[in-house]
Amino acid sequence: MARAFSEIAFTPAVRAAQERQGSAKVYQKFLAPEAERADRIGPDEAAFIEARDGFYQATVSETGWPYVQFRGGPAGFLKVLDDQTIAYADFRGNRQYVSTGNLSGDDRISLILMDYPNRRRLKLFGRARLVEKDDEPGLIDRVHVEGYKARPERAVIITVEGMDWNCPSHIPARLTREELEPHLAPLKQELGRLQAENAALKQMLGAAS
């Protein structure tokens, strides 16, 4: 766990809970000045971020309620603009605009990016700003995924303030249809071969009778 993430996540109430549960000393080292800060996106984080086809996003309402939603799109729709900035095109959906409204009043945002097959996840804290498509069309074009049929209403630009590669414990190994296909292909080929062999045997038996 890195210092930038810990400084945000470990509030006084969290530290008090750690004290009660006996883990405060374990996590104290992540708050030390010499601990790695990790508020910049490196090559490993960039590759991981841009390979995702979805993520979980949390915002905070003006009444203090958290709101979590899943944002999905083609792999690579979440883009790395530089070593502290990620962005994605906000496509038109059910038009509730809960996240949009929340971010207009409180720019704090948190993302969890999952890689279920490899049981990996990256957690991010950041500050978000919304850019409407008519305000910066060049930026919208930059974050839009070429060939994707949905049209963006705006861009969400996130300045990363802290990251953490989270423990893989309790992450279920799940595969999307695309991820499962390479594993199914040999089975489909074998099934096709057996079906053809079975059909040939039936034809031979029919001719013999």
DSSP secondary structure of the chain: --HHHHHHH--HHHHHHHHHHT-HHHHHGGGSTTS----S--HHHHHHHHT-SEEEEEEE-TTS-EEEEEEE-STT-SEEEETTEEEEEEE--SS--HHHHHHHH--EEEEEEEETTTTEEEEEEEEEEEEETTT-HHHHHHHSPTT-SS-EEEEEEEEEEEEEE---TT------HHHHHHHHHHHHHHHHHHHHHHHHHHHHHHHH-
Instruction: Count how many domains the chain has.
Output: 2
Q: Which of 55, 73, 52 is nearest to 150 (CA)?
A: 73
Tell me, yes or no, whether 1 and 79 share the same domain.
Answer: no
Pairing outcome for strands 152-165 and 85-91:
antiparallel
Q: What's the domain range around 13?
A: 1-36
Q: Are residues 93 and 166 in the same domain?
A: yes
Instruction: Please give the pLDDT value at position 29.
Output: 93
Q: What pLDDT is recorded for position 134?
A: 86
User: Nearest CA to 107 among 156, 140, 34, 73?
Assistant: 156
Same domain flag for 152 and 55: yes
Is the domain of 21 the same as that of 43? no
In this structure, are 9 and 92 located in the same domain? no
Examine the domain organization and report whether 91 and 156 are in the same domain. Answer: yes
In a domain, 204, yes or no: no
d(Cα 7, Cα 49) in Å, to the nearest integer? 22
Specify the pLDDT at position 207: 81
Q: Which of 80, 4, 74 is nearest to 47 (CA)?
A: 80
Sheet holding 120-132, edge to edge: 66-72, 54-60, 108-115, 120-132, 152-165, 85-91, 79-82
The pLDDT value recorded for residue 136 is: 87
Same domain, 80 and 7: no
- Which residues of the chain fall below pLDDT 70? 209
Shared-domain flag, residues 8 and 85: no
* pLDDT score at 177: 82
Residue 206 falls within a domain, yes or no?
Answer: no
Residue 207 falls within a domain, yes or no? no
Same domain? 27 vs 70: no
